[in-house]
């Protein structure tokens, strides 16, 4: 043994044998042999463990069948006038709009009884349903809607919702501060249950916009009384199926059924939404597998194949296609991207199925055309088809035989949404089949958005982007994405723009769709962006929960109010 | 001693000011804005202008710098952009105590187990116990925190159902196991290593032989003569680990669903939530400064030579 161990040599040998034995041999503590010196620490450790064990029996997740449990990220706000991000998913449990647009275009009336338009399309009259009340018992009146929609536009409030109401007369002037009197905005409460809206120009898409969660009403008197703090659990009142019982920030949100709700009373009376601040998909899958939540809204990409193959989880998985497209876009104002032959050649060699399988394990749908499936005007027949040989010919005709002389370009991608992997697959496809070389550059999500915004004036080459429908109307796609250039694609074709402008103003539904279909044909021929896939939401339900998803068109919202437990 | 502490505290003020300046300018020069997160459409320029005007982001940077500093000195660290109904003070008040509880618990566990393991390994130098502890500490130092948290949650939470997979129910519940264990692992390993090697250094010293000759028993020598000297390097690194842990770990809190303050370091940067970035960095700086001060006081307590140096 090391030389300094002598300090531990025991020299004291007691005279009687018994004390020697007692000193020498360990003391038993609860059947475990420990030396005397460790008596106290071991006792402490054992009692702490017991305490923890007792404590743990008290917090097994309260599993009464009546509580609906789920998980979400912390909402930035529960004020419908302020936000258009994922907080909307929680806001729609508390508030309700005038109606919801179904997939087939019909209206499911909720807060309103009827809607009518004048012949010139400029005046819209909404008659409200008097059965609807706030969760404090007060009726929902047209004054509440008028107040909310004007608050949506108020520059001092700074809500992102304002962009959806700019078709209303004097709305953009009020929002930009050119006029400061809100009474000039074209929203008026004619009487307690009638709301009249005057538009600045005919806008058929307004019908779809009114059904959006962003146009839900807020209680005028409550907001005026409490100001910014009106969403605190002690002040907030809502007109939807649930009311907010408590909101412990970053911990959990508790909802209870609204006793004054004017629609069909929900079957689930009590819901607890736990808040996660990490990747919500990973946290939800773990909690779902541990039976701590009843419903999960996404599956992490790396676990999709395991979940699908698992017999239990696979049966609980539900795939919901989203109304949106992921694509790769080019700067159409610069060479060589301004040459349609170059874009068509690159489009023809993209193997979309390989991308869908690699990135989403087959849960997404291959996108033959750019515009989402459920948007009128979409026509998969217009899809561009071609073989690798044809693509090579086009590229040669454009001046780059076998890819020689084609400048090496950068494909920009965000660090989120597997965009880096998509870019790498495209890089490989283009290099293998056409001899065109590129490099992939990745940006952090927030910096990526700032970079895209700066592409308004700055040049770029290629970037992976996407667009999701805000509402089920062709104007949201053809006009905003390509005519108004919200994604800075810089595509301009006079025939296309003319068709889109005509379609926007056209009041007859059939003629409108026909115009947008013609625009679709031009778009697909020109290929300003190459469509890749239509993503899909993956939900997990416990077998005893049904009815969460209702037919409500473009946004894959879930409504706890329409779900029920089947035990 | 009191004057020494007073002088040390005064000397930290310029440090805090420099930290504030650097964080302020770095945060504001990062590309990206606080407003267009999670939305499909690009932010309407008018909306952006409205929001910037409301939060005074259009003012010249120097003016924002001075006004934020002035408000901070009066205790107002500003609103959160990411959570529009909360201020930085609300965040600190609601979430920092949780991080502190977990952090203090983790530091205590790391100190106790680290010193015991390191001490045992040193005293049984060359035996299987020493090799086992060395191996365990290597693993403990190299295993990343986020990996360990995930492993614990999957094994203990999903497979064995011993602990909930997320949430915080206070220090006396089973939700304390995962965060404290994962936070304490690396410091425990580090303390064990440092303590073991400094014990081994001291072991051959002559004054130990003198103590034995005077008749002191084994445990008394270890605790009174060996440990006090061996603790000095451990105390130095303990301060660094303590400051890091007590202010909250982003990984542990995010993955285990703990409502603590450490998440905000990363969440605020991702969201470009400038007041929270600056506020949380300043709090961390204060922690580091305070821990360093404790270390210096600790030296004085442990080592009489340093105590007399301070007095003179």
Question: For B264, which residue in chain A has the nearest alpha carbon?
Answer: A277
Alpha helices in A130-188 (DSSP H): 142-153, 171-176
Rounded to the nearest 5°, which phi and psi values hold at B273? -90, 85
Q: How far is CA B132 from CA A38, A494, B16, B156, B282, in A?
A: 21, 76, 43, 24, 41
- pLDDT at residue B267, as a whole number: 86
Segments of chain A scoring below 70 in pLDDT: 1-37, 52-65, 552-553
For B130-177, the pLDDT digits (tens) are: 999 999 999 999 999 999 999 999 999 999 999 999 888 888 989 999
Alpha helices in chain B (DSSP H): 2-29, 45-54, 61-73, 88-123, 128-142, 145-152, 177-203, 206-214, 218-221, 227-246, 250-256, 263-270, 274-302, 304-311
Report CB contact under 8 Å: B43, A160: yes
- pLDDT at residue A466, as a whole number: 94
| Structure tokens belonging to residue B244 | 């890091």
Place of tokens 């107040």: A147
| Structure tokens belonging to residue A541 | 């339900």
CA B179 from centre of chain: 13
- How many whole angstroms separate alpha carbon A128 and alpha carbon A109? 10
Asked if A375 is an interface residue toward chain B (Cβ–Cβ < 8 A), one would say no
For B37-53, the pLDDT digits (tens) are: 767 777 788 888 888 88
Place of tokens 């293998």: A432
DSSP bridge pairs for A411:
A440, A462
pLDDT higher than threshold 60 for residue B262: yes
Q: Which of B33, B40, B219, B249 should we substitute to test contact with A (largest number of A Cβ atoms within 10 Å)?
A: B40
Please give the average per-residue pLDDT across B57-85, as a whole number. Answer: 90
Report CB contact under 8 Å: A276, B166: yes
Please give the average per-residue pLDDT across B86-96, as a whole number. Answer: 90
- pLDDT at residue A76, as a whole number: 86
Report CB contact under 8 Å: B255, A283: yes
For B201-221, the pLDDT digits (tens) are: 888 888 888 888 888 888 888
For B94-132, the pLDDT digits (tens) are: 899 999 999 999 999 999 999 999 999 998 898 999 999
- How many whole angstroms separate alpha carbon B49 and alpha carbon B57? 9
Which residue from B95, B126, B158 is facing A2, i.e. has the nearest CB?
B126
Report CB contact under 8 Å: B94, A232: no
- How many whole angstroms separate alpha carbon A203 and alpha carbon A207? 8
DSSP bridge pairs for A21:
none
What is the least distance, in Å, from the CA of B11 to any CA of chain A? 37
- How many whole angstroms separate alpha carbon B241 and alpha carbon B247? 10
Q: How far is CA A308 from CA A284, A298, A312, A320, in A?
A: 16, 13, 9, 14
Averaged pLDDT of chain B:
89
A381, with CB counted inside 10 A (0-12, 13-18, 19+), is exposed
Place of tokens 């013609």: A518
Which residue from A51, A445, A453 is facing B42, i.e. has the nearest CB?
A453
Question: For A48, which residue in chain B has the nearest alpha carbon?
Answer: B172
Please give the average per-residue pLDDT across B267-295, as a whole number. Answer: 89
Task: Assess contact for B91 and B278: CB atoms under 8 A.
Answer: no
pLDDT higher than threshold 70 for residue B290: yes
Which chain B residues have a beta carbon less than 8 Å from that of A310? Answer: none
DSSP track, A81-146 = TT--STTHHHHHHH---SEEE-TTS-EEESSEEEEEE-TTS-EEEEEE-TT-B-TTSPBP-HHHHH
Question: For A60, which residue in chain B has the nearest alpha carbon?
Answer: B164
| Confidence bin at B265 (pLDDT 50/70/90) | confident
Which chain A residues have a beta carbon less than 8 Å from that of B203? Answer: 2, 4
The 8 Å CB, 24+ separation contacts for B229-234 are: B229/B198, B229/B202, B229/B303, B230/B195, B230/B198, B230/B199, B230/B201, B230/B202, B231/B195, B231/B198, B231/B302, B232/B198, B232/B299, B232/B302, B232/B303, B233/B194, B233/B198, B234/B114, B234/B115, B234/B191, B234/B194, B234/B195, B234/B198
- pLDDT at residue B250, as a whole number: 85
Q: Which of B29, B30, B50 should we substitute to test contact with A (largest number of A Cβ atoms within 10 Å)?
A: B50
DSSP track, B236-256 = HHHHHHHHHHHT--HHHHHHH
Task: Assess contact for A103 and A374: CB atoms under 8 A.
Answer: yes
For A206-220, the pLDDT digits (tens) are: 999 999 999 999 999
Q: Residue A537 belongs to what H/E stretch?
A: strand A536-541
- pLDDT at residue B221, as a whole number: 86
- pLDDT at residue A474, as a whole number: 93
| Structure tokens belonging to residue B265 | 């370091």
Q: Which of A458, A346, A457, A327 is nearest to A406 (CA)?
A: A346
- pLDDT at residue B228, as a whole number: 84
Q: How many helices (H) and strands (E) does chain A have?
A: 17, 23
Count CB neighbours of A254 within 10 A.
Answer: 16
- How many whole angstroms separate alpha carbon A171 and alpha carbon A100? 23
Q: How many residues does the structure list for chain B?
A: 312
Rounded to the nearest 5°, which phi and psi values hold at A357? -65, -40
Task: Assess contact for B110 and B188: CB atoms under 8 A.
Answer: yes
- Looking at residue B43, what DSSP letter applies? P
- pLDDT at residue A457, as a whole number: 92
- Rg of chain A over Cα atoms, rounded to whole angstroms, equals 31
Instruction: Report helix, strand or coil for B59.
Output: coil
| Confidence bin at B243 (pLDDT 50/70/90) | confident
Please give the average per-residue pLDDT across B179-195, as a whole number. Answer: 95
* Crossing angle (nearest 10°) for helices B88-123 and B177-203: 40
A vs B: CB pairs below 8 A:
181
What is the least distance, in Å, from the CA of A480 to any CA of chain B? 9
Q: Which of B201, B259, B271 should we substitute to test contact with A (largest number of A Cβ atoms within 10 Å)?
A: B259
Task: Assess contact for A65 and A183: CB atoms under 8 A.
Answer: no
CA-based torsion, B228, B230, B232, B235: positive or negative: negative
- pLDDT at residue B33, as a whole number: 85
- pLDDT at residue B152, as a whole number: 94
């Amino acid at each position: 043994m090391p030389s300094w161990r002598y300090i531990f040599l025991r020299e004291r040998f007691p005279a009687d044998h018994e004390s020697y034995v007692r000193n020498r041999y360990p003391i038993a503590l609860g059947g475990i042999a420990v030396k005397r010196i460790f008596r106290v620490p071991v006792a402490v450790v054992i009692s702490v463990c017991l305490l923890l064990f007792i404590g743990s029996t008290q917090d097994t997740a309260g599993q009464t069948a009546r509580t609906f449990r789920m998980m979400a990220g912390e909402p930035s706000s529960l004020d419908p006038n302020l936000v258009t991000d994922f907080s909307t998913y929680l806001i729609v449990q508390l508030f309700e709009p005038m109606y919801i647009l179904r997939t087939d275009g019909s209206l499911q009336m909720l807060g309103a009884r009827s809607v009518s338009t004048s012949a010139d399309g400029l005046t819209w009259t909404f008659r409200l349903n008097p059965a609807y009340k706030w969760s404090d018992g007060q009726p929902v009146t047209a004054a509440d809607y008028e107040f909310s929609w004007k608050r949506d536009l108020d520059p001092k409030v700074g809500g992102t919702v304002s962009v959806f109401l700019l078709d209303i007369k004097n709305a953009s002037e009020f929002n930009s501060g050119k006029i400061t009197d809100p009474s000039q905005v074209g929203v008026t409460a004619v009487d307690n249950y009638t709301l009249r809206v005057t538009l600045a120009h005919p806008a058929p898409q307004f019908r779809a916009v009114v059904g959006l969660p962003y146009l839900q009403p807020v209680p005028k008197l409550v907001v005026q009384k409490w100001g910014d703090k009106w969403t605190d659990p002690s002040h907030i009142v809502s007109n939807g199926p649930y009311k907010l019982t408590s909101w412990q920030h970053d911990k959990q949100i508790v909802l209870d059924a609204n006793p004054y709700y004017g629609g069909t009373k929900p079957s689930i009376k009590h819901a607890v939404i736990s808040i996660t601040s990490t990747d919500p998909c990973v946290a939800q899958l773990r909690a779902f597998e541990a039976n701590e939540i009843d419903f999960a809204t996404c599956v992490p990409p790396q676990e999709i194949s395991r979940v699908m193959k698992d017999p239990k989880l696979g049966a609980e998985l539900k795939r919901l296609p989203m109304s949106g497209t992921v694509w790769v876009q080019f700067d159409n104002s610069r060479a060589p991207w301004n040459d349609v032959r170059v874009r068509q050649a690159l489009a023809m060699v993209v193997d979309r199925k390989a991308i869908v399988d690699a990135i989403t394990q087959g849960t997404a749908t291959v996108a033959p055309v750019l515009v989402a499936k459920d948007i009128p005007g979409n026509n998969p027949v217009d899809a561009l088809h071609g073989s690798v040989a044809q693509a090579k010919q086009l590229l040669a005709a454009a001046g780059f035989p076998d890819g020689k002389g084609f400048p090496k370009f950068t494909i920009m991608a965000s660090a989120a949404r597997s965009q880096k992997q998509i870019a790498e697959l495209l890089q490989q496809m283009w290099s293998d089949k056409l001899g065109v070389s590129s490099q992939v550059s990745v940006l952090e999500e927030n910096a990526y958005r700032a970079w895209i915004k700066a592409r308004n004036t700055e040049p770029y080459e290629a970037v992976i982007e996407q667009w999701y429908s805000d509402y089920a109307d062709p104007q949201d796609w053809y006009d905003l994405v390509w005519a108004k250039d919200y994604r800075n694609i810089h595509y301009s074709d006079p025939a296309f723009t003319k068709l889109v402008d005509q379609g926007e103003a056209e009041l007859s539904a059939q003629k409108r769709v026909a115009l947008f279909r013609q625009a679709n044909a031009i778009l697909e021929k020109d290929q300003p962006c190459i469509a890749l896939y239509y993503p899909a939401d993956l939900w997990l339900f416990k077998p005893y929960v049904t009815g969460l998803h209702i037919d409500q068109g473009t946004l894959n919202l879930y409504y706890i109010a329409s779900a029920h437990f089947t035990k | 001693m009191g004057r020494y502490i007073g002088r040390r505290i005064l000397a930290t003020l310029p440090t805090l000011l420099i930290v504030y300046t650097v964080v302020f300018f770095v945060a504001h020069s990062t590309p990206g804005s606080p407003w267009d997160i999670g939305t499909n459409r690009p932010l309407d320029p008018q909306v952006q202008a409205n929001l910037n005007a409301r939060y005074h982001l259009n003012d010249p940077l120097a003016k924002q710098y001075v006004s934020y500093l002035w408000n901070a000195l009066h205790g107002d660290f500003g609103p959160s952009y990411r959570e529009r109904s909360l201020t930085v003070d609300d965040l600190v008040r609601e979430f920092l105590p949780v991080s502190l509880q977990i952090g203090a618990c983790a530091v205590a566990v790391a100190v106790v187990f680290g010193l015991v393991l390191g001490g045992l390994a040193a005293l049984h130098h060359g035996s299987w116990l020493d090799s086992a502890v060395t191996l365990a500490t290597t693993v403990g130092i190299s295993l990343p925190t986020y990996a360990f948290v995930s492993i614990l949650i999957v094994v203990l939470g999903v497979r064995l159902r011993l602990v909930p997979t997320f949430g915080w129910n206070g220090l006396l519940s089973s939700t304390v196991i995962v965060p404290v264990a994962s936070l304490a692992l690396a410091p425990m390993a580090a303390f064990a290593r440092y303590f073991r090697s400094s014990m081994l250094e001291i072991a051959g010293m002559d004054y130990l032989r003198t103590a034995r000759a005077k008749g002191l028993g084994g445990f008394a020598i270890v605790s009174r003569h060996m440990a006090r000297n061996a603790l000095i390097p451990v105390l130095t690194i303990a301060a660094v680990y303590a400051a890091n842990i007590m202010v909250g770990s982003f990984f542990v809190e995010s993955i285990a669903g703990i409502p603590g303050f450490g998440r905000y370091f990363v969440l605020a940067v991702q969201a470009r939530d400038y007041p929270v970035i600056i506020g949380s960095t300043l709090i961390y700086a204060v922690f580091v400064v305070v821990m360093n001060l404790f270390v210096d006081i600790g030296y004085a307590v442990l080592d009489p030579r340093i105590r007399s140096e301070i007095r003179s």
